[in-house]
């Protein structure tokens, strides 16, 4: 499902979430255990000076899934907004000419452009039938090389279009990169969107310690994007009401929710 990849190839694999140049590590001549330790403690020559998010996606079905489901999670406060507050940040969408106009006109993409610099680059010359993995690899490679000498001081995030990213994930990765890590490798779980989406809409509940600590006010917690019909009410009140058997009508006015 990622960037046109069929479900059988969509998950169950590790992803290099972020990478940056590192200091030389003399691991070739060391015993195996020492080599493992050297790799684990490898550190960069200098902290990153910029961030580039690379996201390949093409084909209406997959572009729509990215804009409606994945990108809103990247817009959560602890993800792209946090990165943009740390370093100059650019989000590069690698897509086909046929999908460009739809992406540019989508409200979630416009919300993205308010957070950081955005660019759409066409990769029609790399899209070949069903060889999705090759297209992804070449698209990432072209984008990194196009950065030129600045690539050595840039932290790259290699994203996939069907990932749902928890709030704070990107900030956590970036903190490790700033602390000296040369790269961060993450795993993922694969689910079927058709069955997972309705289930999540009935289970997810908003939780906050507002106004004591995080200041995530309920009326400002959700990204300013269109959510599935009825989901905001479920997330902010109804799911919790059903779980804890609360009376109908409690808290609706304070959350700005209508019946």
- Return the higher-pLDDT residue of 22 and 203: 203
- Of 115-124, 203-212, 249-258, which range is least confident? 249-258
Q: What is the mean pLDDT of residues 137-151?
A: 96
pLDDT for 209 equals 57
Position 145 confidence tier, pLDDT thresholds 50, 70, 90: very high
| Distance spanning both ends of the chain, measured CA to CA | 36
pLDDT over 90 at 3, yes or no = no
pTM of the model: 0.67
pLDDT over 90 at 122, yes or no = yes
CATH assignment of 2-186, among 3.30.1560, 3.30.420, 1.10.3470, 3.90.550: 3.90.550
Q: Closest by alpha carbon to 133, among 160, 95, 163?
A: 160
Instruction: Cite the residue boundaries of each domain of the chain with CATH code 3.90.550.
Output: 2-186
pLDDT over 80 at 182, yes or no = yes
Phi, psi at 93, each rounded to 5°: -95, 125
117-122 sheet: strands from edge to edge: 117-122, 89-95, 50-56, 154-158, 15-19, 183-186
Give the chain's mean pLDDT.
78
Tokens of 231: 């989901």
pLDDT for 189 equals 80
In whole angstroms, what is the distance from residue 119 CA to residue 124 CA? 16
Burial class (CB in 10 A: 0-12, 13-18, 19+), 217: exposed
pLDDT over 50 at 140, yes or no = yes
Q: What is the mean pLDDT of residues 214-221?
A: 59
- Return the higher-pLDDT residue of 176 and 243: 176
3-state secondary structure the chain: CHHHCCHHHHCCCCEEEEECCCCCCCCCCCCHHHHHHHHHCCECCCCCCEEEEEEECCCHHHHHHHHHHHHHHHCCCCCHHHHHHHCCEEEEEEECHHHHHHHHHCHHHHHHHCCCEEEEEECHHHCCCCCHHHHHHHHHHHHHHHCHHHHHHEEEEECCCCCCCCCCHHHHHHHHHHCCECEEEECCCCCCHHHHHHHHHHHCCCCCCCCCCCCCCHHHCCCCCCCCCCHHHHHHHHHHHHHHCCCCCCCHHHHCCCC
In whole angstroms, what is the distance from residue 60 CA to residue 99 CA? 7
pLDDT over 70 at 154, yes or no = yes
pLDDT for 224 equals 61
pLDDT for 171 equals 94
Q: Could you read off the pLDDT of 53-84 as tens digits, one per residue?
A: 999 999 999 999 899 889 999 999 999 999 99
Phi, psi at 5, each rounded to 5°: -80, 135
pLDDT over 90 at 42, yes or no = no
- Of 20-24, 61-65, 96-100, which range is least confident? 20-24
Position 117 confidence tier, pLDDT thresholds 50, 70, 90: very high
pLDDT over 80 at 5, yes or no = no
């Amino acid at each position: 499902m990622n960037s046109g990849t069929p479900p059988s190839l969509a998950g169950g694999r590790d992803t290099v979430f972020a990478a940056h140049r590192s200091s030389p590590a003399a691991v070739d001549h060391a015993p195996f255990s020492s080599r493992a330790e050297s790799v684990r403690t490898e550190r960069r020559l200098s902290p990153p000076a910029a961030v580039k998010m690379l996201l390949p996606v093409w084909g209406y079905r997959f572009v729509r899934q990215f804009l409606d489901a994945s990108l809103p999670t990247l817009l959560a406060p602890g993800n792209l907004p946090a990165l943009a507050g740390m370093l100059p940040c650019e989000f590069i969408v690698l897509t086909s000419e046929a999908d460009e106009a739809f992406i540019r006109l989508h409200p979630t993409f416009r919300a993205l452009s308010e957070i950081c610099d955005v660019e759409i680059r066409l990769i029609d010359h790399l899209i070949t039938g069903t060889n999705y993995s090759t297209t992804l690899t070449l698209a990432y490679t072209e984008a990194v090389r196009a950065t030129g000498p600045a690539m050595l001081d840039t932290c790259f995030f290699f994203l996939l279009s069907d990932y749902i990213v928890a709030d704070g994930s990107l900030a956590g990765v970036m903190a490790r990169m700033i602390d000296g890590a040369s790269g961060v490798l993450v795993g993922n779980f694969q689910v079927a969107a058709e069955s997972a989406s309705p289930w999540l809409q009935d289970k997810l509940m908003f939780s906050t310690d507002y106004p004591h600590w995080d200041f995530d006010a309920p009326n400002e917690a959700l990204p300013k994007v269109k959510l599935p019909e009825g989901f905001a009410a479920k997330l902010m009140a109804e799911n919790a009401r059903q779980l804890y058997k609360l009376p109908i009508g409690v808290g609706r006015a304070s959350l700005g929710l209508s019946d």
